[in-house]
Amino acid sequence: MFESLSNRFDEIFKGLKKTGSIDESSLDIAMRDIRRALLEADVALPVAKQFIEEVRKEAIGKEIIRSITPAQMITKIVNDQLIKILGPADSEFNINKNEISSYLFVGLQGSGKTTTVGKVGNYLKNNFDKNILFVSLDTSRPAAFDQLKKLSEIVSVRILPKIENQIPVDIVTRAKQFAQLNEIDCILYDTAGRMNIEENLMSELSLLEKEIHPLETLLVLDSLTGQEAVNVARDFSNTISISGSILTRIDGDSRGGAALSMKYATPCPIKFMGIGEQIEDLEKFYPERIANRILGMGDIVSLVEKATETVDQEDAERMAKKIQKGEFDLDDLLSQIRQMKKMGGISGMMKFIPGLGNLTNKISQNSNPDNSMAQQEAIILSMTKYERSRPKIINGSRKKRIAAGSGTSISEINKILKQHRKMSDMMKKLSKKGAGSIDPNILASQLGGGIPSNFLKNKF
């Protein structure tokens, strides 16, 4: 499955490893290669374009973490992006509890509808212990009923008997009656396909949809048709309401274009995939697993995930130590602002300060308006390294320069300096007398620059 794409990614990542560090130009080369690999895999052009744009955006903004290489970081970014475009993840069929569930299978001729009805029937019977009825609405080919009948025998489920010359809509009425009488839980409707999308097929399906009220309408697509499958998906979803797709012949698909482009055509999930001709050759479609199969880099991905977690924790612990020692400069304030953005609020910081951890859940996460954090960040970034480590030297003319550089005003600079002063005073007090000496409300208000008033009323 997806071997050729997988091999291409392998080559690209090997190339990246050689470069050691990733600069703008090696990133450009990697992105060009990834784009080419995707197009060769028959991924739709807009999808390939969007894919590399997202990867580049992520890669450029990424801080490099000590224990992992930039190449590993990019691997992880590509992996995440693959998962994103293969999703959303929803690989289960809805099943009604107390009434009959109807499933309508649609798709082009030869896409694998009838075979898939057999596979899904087998799946529902074995995993959910359901009473299944197969119904053939394919009246265009005489052999269609016989094919489904054979499958019903293999799976050991009922099939609605054939009445010559009955039209599909009438077959549906009969199927419903049969299901009521025979305590059927799930009706699986197989339909006729055409070689191409055409008016007749669509109006017939639209009629059947109204008649059946399917719980799920599943679009069966041949993955070997690559991005053409995407056009088919778009055309079908213009006429009827598709709840999910099933990609067949994944076992023969070395490229992966259909799977990777599908989201572009329809927001509904790929639920299952056919991986062979036999009745049990049906697998749930898990975007994460597929991405892993394509990249074959599961180890690196979990390595990067672990490293990212540890770095966040190390940073916070280092900061907590500085706070305890009473050494807290504007660089620390800056990284605290950034950290806070990443960790989702003051509580992320406070849990590393002994004695305050258990209070964190009482502080509202909404107390840090993003824009004010962004402004504070801009102000500190407009200061020199020296100014940041010795805030005391920031005089009037320096303030003027910083205000101009950050697009703010002198009063904003004063505000942040005052905030820092108050914080560092409090930190000193904290380190001398222990957490008990500090009113957590006041500390929180200093860290976050404002907390909800009802929080202040709480007694600890």
Give the contact letters, 181-200, x = binds to ligand GDP (CB under 6 A), - = no.
------------x-------
Q: Which stretch binds ligand GDP (CB under 6 A): 113-121, 210-218, 391-399, 406-414?
A: 113-121
In what helix (H) or strand (E) does residue 122 lie, and over which residues does it extend?
Answer: helix 113-128
Tokens of 361: 């859940």
Gap between the Cα atoms of 268 and 265, Å rounded: 9
How many residues belong to the chain? 460
Task: Determine the Cα–Cα distance for residues 175 and 160; give it in Å rounded to an integer.
Answer: 7
Choosing from 257, 274, 448, 449, the residue that interacts with ligand GDP (CB under 6 A) is: 274
- Nearest to 59, CA basis, from 86, 23, 113: 23
The answer to whether 112 contacts ligand GDP (rule: CB under 6 A) is: yes
Q: Closest separation between CB of residue 115 and Mg ion, Å?
A: 8
114 in contact with Mg ion (CB under 5 A): yes
Quote the CA–CA distance of 332 and 339 in Å, as a whole number.
10
Which residues have C-beta within 8 Å of that of residue 181, sequence separation ≥ 6? none
Shortest Cβ 119–ligand GDP spacing (Å): 8
Q: Are 73 and 111 in contact (CB under 8 A)?
A: no
275 near ligand GDP, judged by CB under 6 A: yes
Q: Which is nearer to ligand GDP, 115 or 336 (CB)?
A: 115
- Among the candidate windows 50-58, 87-95, 107-115, 451-459, which touches ligand GDP by CB under 6 A? 107-115
Nearer to ligand GDP by C-beta: 269 or 345?
Answer: 269
Q: Of ligand GDP, Mg ion, none, which one does residue 8 interact with (CB within 5 to 8 Å by kind)? A: none
Site membership for ligand GDP, residue 267 (CB under 6 A): no
Which one of residues 8, 56, 76, 113 is an interface residue with ligand GDP (CB under 6 A)?
113
Closest C-alpha to 130, from 160, 156, 154: 156
One residue of 70, 107, 168, 448 binding ligand GDP per CB under 6 A = 107
Q: Which of 92, 16, 112, 94 is nearest to 55 (CA)?
A: 16
- Closer Cβ to ligand GDP, 110 or 354, answer by number: 110
- By a kind-dependent CB cut-off of 5 to 8 A, residue 115 interacts, out of Mg ion, ligand GDP, none, with ligand GDP
Which of these ranges, 92-100, 108-116, 243-251, 252-260, lies near Mg ion under the rule CB under 5 A? 108-116
Whether the CB-CB separation of 68 and 303 falls below 8 Å is answered with: yes
How far apart CA 318 and CA 316 sit, in angstroms, is 5
Euclidean distance between CA atoms 152 and 302, whole angstroms = 43
Cβ partners under 8 Å of residue 121, min gap 6: 132, 134, 151, 152, 155, 157, 186, 188
Looking at the Cβ atoms of 191 and 376, the one nearer to ligand GDP is 191
- Give the one entry of Mg ion, ligand GDP, none that residue 26 binds, where binding means its C-beta sits below a cut-off of 5 to 8 angstroms depending on kind: none
Q: Which residues contact 353 (CB under 8 A, 6 or more apart)?
A: 320, 323, 324, 430, 435
User: Is the preceding omega at residue 369 within 30 degrees of 0, hence cis?
Assistant: no
CB of 121 to ligand GDP, least distance (A): 13
How many chain residues are in contact with ligand GDP, going by CB under 6 A?
18
Whole-angstrom distance, CA of residue 304 vs CA of residue 288:
15
CB distance 270 to 236 below 8 Å: no
Residues that contact Mg ion, how many (by CB under 5 A):
2
- The reply to whether 168 sits near ligand GDP by the rule CB under 6 A is no
**Binding segment for ligand GDP among 129-137, 211-219, 247-255, 355-363 (CB under 6 A)?**
247-255
Taking CB under 6 A as the criterion, the residue among 54, 209, 228, 251 binding ligand GDP is 251
Which residue's Cβ lies closest to ligand GDP?
Answer: 274
Angle at alpha carbon of residue 447, lines to 449 and 368, rounded to 5°:
50
Which of 276, 296, 326, 348 touches ligand GDP by CB under 6 A? Answer: 276
User: Interface with Mg ion includes 191 (CB under 5 A)?
Assistant: no
Find the shortest distance in angstroms from Cβ 130 to Mg ion. 22
Quick check: 280 binds ligand GDP (CB under 6 A)? no
By the 8 A CB rule, do 360 and 447 touch? no
Q: Please identify which residue in 50, 91, 109, 292 interacts with ligand GDP, judged by CB under 6 A.
A: 109
Q: Give the interface with Mg ion as residue ranges (CB under 5 A).
A: 113-114
Q: Give the interface with ligand GDP as residue ranges (CB under 6 A).
A: 107, 109-115, 193, 248-249, 251-252, 274-277, 281
